[in-house]
Structure 1
Amino acid sequence: MTEDEGMHHPDVKLPVGLFQDLEVLRAEVARLSGQVRELTEASGAGEAFAADADAVAGAGVDGGEGEEEQFPPFILLLDPPQYDAELRALIEWVEGVLVPGYLAEPSADARWCHLWFEHPVAVARLHALWLAWQELTDPATCGYTGPSVWHRDHLDPCLRELRPSTGPFAGCTKGEHQVDHRMPGLVPSAWSRTDD
Structure 2
Amino acid sequence: MPDDPAPAVTEIAEDIADLQAQVRALTARLDQLTRADDPDRTSAESPEEERGGAEGAEGDSGEPEWASPPFIFILDPPAYDDELCALAEWVEGVLVPGYLSEPSADARWCHLWTEHPVAVARLHALWLAWQELTDPASCGYTGPSTWHRDHYDPCMRELRLSGGPFNGCTKGEHSVMHRQPGLVPSAWKISTT
TM more than 0.5: yes
**Distance change (3 Å), C-alpha of 1:115 and 1:51:** same
Residue 27 of structure 1 corresponds to none
**Distance change (3 Å), C-alpha of 1:81 and 1:173:** same
Q: Does 1:139 align with 2:133?
A: no
Match of residue 188, structure 1, among 185, 189, 192: 185
TM-superposition CA deviations, 1:102-121 (whole Å, max 9, x none): 10000000000000011000
Query: Per-residue deviation at 1:168?
Result: 0.4
State the one-letter code of the partner of 1:95: E
Query: Per-residue deviation at 1:178?
Result: 1.2
**Distance change (3 Å), C-alpha of 1:56 and 1:97:** farther
Residue 95 of structure 2 corresponds to 98
- Distance in 2 between residues matched to 1:184 and 1:173, nearest whole Å: 21
- Distance in 2 between residues matched to 1:145 and 1:174, nearest whole Å: 35
Between the two proteins, the alignment pairs up a number of residues equal to 139
Taking the TM superposition and a 5 Å limit, the aligned residue runs for 1:145-156 are 145-156=142-153
- Distance in 2 between residues matched to 1:54 and 1:89, nearest whole Å: 31
**Structure 1 unmatched ranges of 5 or more:** 1-47, 58-67
- The CA RMSD measured in Å over matched residues stands at 2.5
Question: Normalized against structure 2, the TM-score is what?
Answer: 0.65
Taking the TM superposition and a 5 Å limit, the aligned residue runs for 1:7-156 are 51-53=45-47, 70-156=67-153
**Structure 2 unmatched ranges of 5 or more:** 1-41, 52-64
- Taking every aligned residue pair, what percent have the same amino acid on both sides? 72
State the one-letter code of the partner of 1:111: R
Query: Larger relative contact order (C-alpha < 8 A, sep ≥ 6)?
Result: 2
TM-superposition CA deviations, 1:12-52 (whole Å, max 9, x none): xxxxxxxxxxxxxxxxxxxxxxxxxxxxxxxxxxxx66742
- Distance in 2 between residues matched to 1:143 and 1:106, nearest whole Å: 33
- Distance in 1 between residues matched to 2:75 and 2:50, nearest whole Å: 30
State the one-letter code of the partner of 1:94: V
- Distance in 2 between residues matched to 1:49 and 1:157, nearest whole Å: 39
Question: Normalized against structure 1, the TM-score is what?
Answer: 0.64
- Distance in 1 between residues matched to 2:94 and 2:173, nearest whole Å: 24
Greater than 3 Å deviation, 4+ residue runs: 48-51, 54-57, 193-196
- Distance in 2 between residues matched to 1:80 and 1:92, nearest whole Å: 18
- Distance in 2 between residues matched to 1:56 and 1:183, nearest whole Å: 50
